[in-house]
Structure formats: structure tokens, C-alpha cells
Amino acid sequence: MDRIRLVGGNALNGEIPISGAKNAALPLMIASLLSDEPLVLVNVPRLADVKQLERILENHGVDIAVHGRRRGDADMGGQRITFTASDIVDTTAPYELVSTMRASFWVIGPLLAREGHAKVSLPGGCAIGTRPVDFYLEGLRELGAEIEIDNGYVVARAPGGRLRGANVRFPKVSVGATHVVMMAATLAQGTTVIENAAREPEVGDLAECLVAMGARITGIGTERLVIEGVEKLGGAVHEVLPDRIETGTYAMAAAMTGGDVLLRNARPGLLQAALDVIGHAGIAVEPEAGGIRIRRGEGPIRPVDVETEPFPGFPTDLQAQFMALMTRSDGVSVIKETIFENRFMHVAELARFGANIHVDGQLARVTGVPELRGAQVMATDLRASVSLVIAGLAARGETIVNRIYHLDRGFERLEDKLSRCGAVIERIAG
């Protein structure tokens, strides 16, 4: 199994291109199931999760064509991929495919909407909490679906072969449930209103793509989405938005090492709450025409208290990275995790660097230390794994990060991007 080796102590200086957002690319790929015409996605990141979802979509009969680079494309630009679901050959998503990635469960919405039936294994993914699919299923039931659980599979049917528009209100904001119900509603008969919808930029990106395919959606970017069902969706060309989590991650890496980095193609509006927090920590955050510049001078990192929230609040997917940054702050910070109940698994690994962190339920109290020391550490989930890289970049001596397949799921060419800015980092084949 591959590992990453780092030698800390170098400031990051230079430019890091921000890839297309994984959390946007996956639902966009799944949306290809809604139409028999080609959906062309531009700026798709090269990630393990993308490859896995390609296998799942091919199992349903989607033809996938990955296009080569074009003249003028950036050195680390994303992929251009065409997805054509001209004929759905199988409406079952088996356990061996779905169990490795939670987002793959979302195929249930398009399959049910287009074919009138679907059988999808209950999902897998990072072990960061129970994250039940109750909201997804209740939303589909509101659209008229008949649903039962059979031997670990969700079996869903639309009586008469078509879903019906309805009023759906989620008791709690859920990105996944919003994706699933919105996609299903595009082909439902009548009008669907989704209340308490997730407002994350990735939800808006999917909605904009669906509109380009012929869907009728209003309220994009708000907590109330109105979807007027249509008989059929067509093809479209859509560019995946830049990854706000990757943006925040590299911003914290630059802040941690005392560097000066331009995050090329980054959009401030996608993660303003996180940028505000980084600014409060004493880091210069400067939007530029080409992206966002992150600079830290000679001053200390200031402690900042943070509470994770749905968008537009501070994202849970940046909580581990921010905790790594706060281990070097000049004081005490308190981090409250409100989204997932089991997302402090990285604390024990950060402690191996010499970090001083005390956890009490959903609160983590981080007391900054003068120095981190390199260590052998183990990645526990996608976002926690990159927090260990951030700590290793600033730690004295050598760090080995084990079980890095989590990193490959969500960060494109991480070693290349960091090494170009002066980091001593390499992948060791295992």
C-alpha cells in the first residue's frame, strides 16, 4: 500500500492550480443517467472516486469517452469527459460497487425517475458518522415512490412508471438528499418544491447543469427549490466548478508553513466563511484576478474558534485541516463539529506529532504548541488524511503518512502540486 513521505520545514511559495470539485463532479456524472443524449463535463478531476463512479455508470450502460488534452490546456487542467446513457441496461447498483463510495447511492434518483424502478445497495464511504439515507428515501416517497429494504438493498418503484411532483421538506439540511430528490423531480409529473434544501455551491452547480439539459428549476442557491417536471432531458456541456475544499486545504497548508501561494482558479465566494476564519488567524487572504493569494508573514498564527455549519458556514470538510493549523497557533482554539458525530478521528494521529488536543463530545480544544515533530501516522478518512500532510509540512523531521488511498479519492496530484511550491514530499509505492 502506498505511503507519502514528507520532510517538514519548508515554506510553500509559488502557484497551485485548483482542480474541479469532486463533490460537484460526482453528482454531475450521475445526472447523465437522466438523458439519452450526451452530457459533456469539462474540468473533471482525476480521482479514485471519479474512476469508481465511472465503473458504476458503465454497469448501468453509460458510454464514457475521456478526451485528450487540447492545445492551450493547462498543465494540470481537468479532464473533458462525455457521458452517454442512450440505453439503461441495468437498474441495479450492486453492493460490490456502491459499498466503496457513498455518493454512488445517488444513482437511485435518476434511475427511478427515468426507468420507473431501481435496486441500489445501501452505501459505504468514509467512516465519519452514520449519515443515514432516511431523508433520501422519505423524499422519494413524497414523490410517490414505493420503497422497501431487501437484504441490504433499497428497492424502489414508481407506480405507473413515473414519479409525481410533491412538496418535500427536509427536517435537516442534507446535500445528498437534495441532489437525489432534485434529480428525480426533473422528470416527475407536475411541480416539486424542496424546502430546507442544501445551499452548497455543488448543489447549485448540479442545478445549473440540469437546467442546461432542459430541466425547469428556480430558486437555485436558496433553501427553496422549485422543479417543474419535464417529459425528457437533453444533452449539455458543463464545466465543473473549482474545488472549494481543495482551495481551503492548500490555503491552510500555505498558512501553516509561512508561505506565499497563489491558488489559481480559486473562487472566494465558494468558501468565504473559511477564508474569513483564515484571515482572523492572522493570515493575509487576497483575492486576485487569477485566484486567491495566501500569505503569512513573520507573525504568529492566532487562535480562532470555529463551528462547522452547512453552507454558507464553515465547512465540515475543512475541519480537520483547520485543526492541524491551530496546533501551531499562539493560544487556545475551540472547534465544534455539528455535522458529523464521528469526525475527530484525526485527533489521535495529530497527537503523534506532539499536538495538544482535548476532545469532549463534539468539542475539540486545541492548545497550540511551539513545534510539531515528524511521525508515522495513519489516514482515517479523506479529509483527515490531508490534515496529517499539513501537519507534516510544518513538522521538524520526517513524516510518513500511511493508508493514503483516502487522499487519492479526493486530492488530485497532491504531491506534484506541493512539491512545485517547495515541499519535500514523495509517494512511496507499497
Residue-level pLDDT, tens digit, the chain, 430 residues? 899 999 999 999 999 999 999 999 999 999 999 999 999 999 999 999 999 999 999 999 999 999 987 665 666 779 999 999 999 999 999 999 888 888 899 999 999 999 999 999 987 544 434 446 889 999 999 999 999 999 889 999 999 999 999 999 999 999 999 999 999 999 999 999 999 999 999 999 999 999 999 999 999 999 999 999 999 999 999 999 999 999 999 999 999 999 899 999 999 999 999 999 999 999 999 999 999 999 997 889 999 999 999 999 999 999 999 999 999 999 999 999 998 776 788 999 999 999 999 999 999 999 999 999 999 999 888 778 899 999 999 999 999 999 998 899 889 999 999 999 999 999 998 7
Catalytic: which of 6, 126, 254, 274?
126
Neighbouring C-alpha atoms within 13 Å toward the C-beta of 155: 5
Q: Which CATH architecture has domain 22-239?
A: Alpha-beta prism (3.65)
| Cα within 13 Å of Cα(76), Cβ side | 20
Q: What is the dihedral of CA 315, 316, 321, 323, to 10 degrees?
A: 110
Whether 174 has a binding-site annotation, put simply, is yes
417 is an annotated ligand-binding site residue: no
Is 413 annotated as ligand-binding? Answer: no
Count Cα atoms within 13 angstroms, Cβ side, for 388.
34
126 is an active site residue: yes
The gap from C-alpha 397 to its chain's centroid, in whole angstroms, comes to 31
- How confident is the model at residue 343, as a pLDDT? 76
Look at residue 75 in the predicted model and tell me its pLDDT: 66
pLDDT score at 178: 97
The span from the CA of 168 to the CA of 91, in Å, is: 25
CA distances from 161 to 114, 117, 118, 140 (A): 9, 8, 11, 14
What DSSP string describes 207-236? HHHHHHTT-EEE-TTSSEEEEE--S-B--E
Length of the chain in terms of residues written: 430
Is 51 annotated to bind a ligand? Reply is: no
What is the predicted pLDDT for the residue at 297?
79
Scanning the structure block, which residue is given the C-alpha cell 472549494? Answer: 244
Give the integer Cα–Cα distance in Å for 402 and 387: 13
pLDDT at 71: 61
Cα(355)–Cα(328) distance, integer angstroms? 8
Tell me whether the CATH fold assigned to 3-18+242-428 matches the one assigned to 22-239.
yes
End-to-end CA distance of the chain: 4
At 211, is the secondary structure helix, strand, or coil? helix
102 is in an annotated binding site: yes
Q: CA triplet 112, 117, 123: central angle to 5 degrees? A: 70
Q: Grid coordinates representing 299?
A: 507573525
Res 74: pLDDT: 63
Measured distance CA(425)–CA(407) in Å, rounded: 14
- Structural domain boundaries in the chain: 3-18+242-428, 22-239
How many angstroms separate the Cα of 314 from the Cα of each of 124, 387, 422? 25, 16, 29
Q: What is the pLDDT of residues 138-173, one digit of tens each?
A: 999 999 999 999 988 999 999 999 999 999 999 999
Q: What is the pLDDT of residue 69?
A: 73
Helix residue spans in 356-403 (DSSP H): 382-394
Residue that the C-alpha cell 445497495 belongs to: 121
Q: Which residue has the cell 444533452?
A: 235
339 is in an annotated binding site: yes
Residue where the block lists cell 439540511:
173
Fold type of domain 3-18+242-428 = UDP-n-acetylglucosamine1-carboxyvinyl-transferase; Chain (3.65.10)
Q: Does 419 show up as a binding residue in the annotation? A: no
Do 71 and 18 meet the contact criterion of CB atoms below 8 Å apart?
A: no
CB 285 within 8 A of CB 275: yes
User: What pLDDT does residue 73 have?
Assistant: 63
Q: What is the DSSP string of 150-186?
A: ETTEEEEE-GGGS-B--EEE-SS--HHHHHHHHHHHT
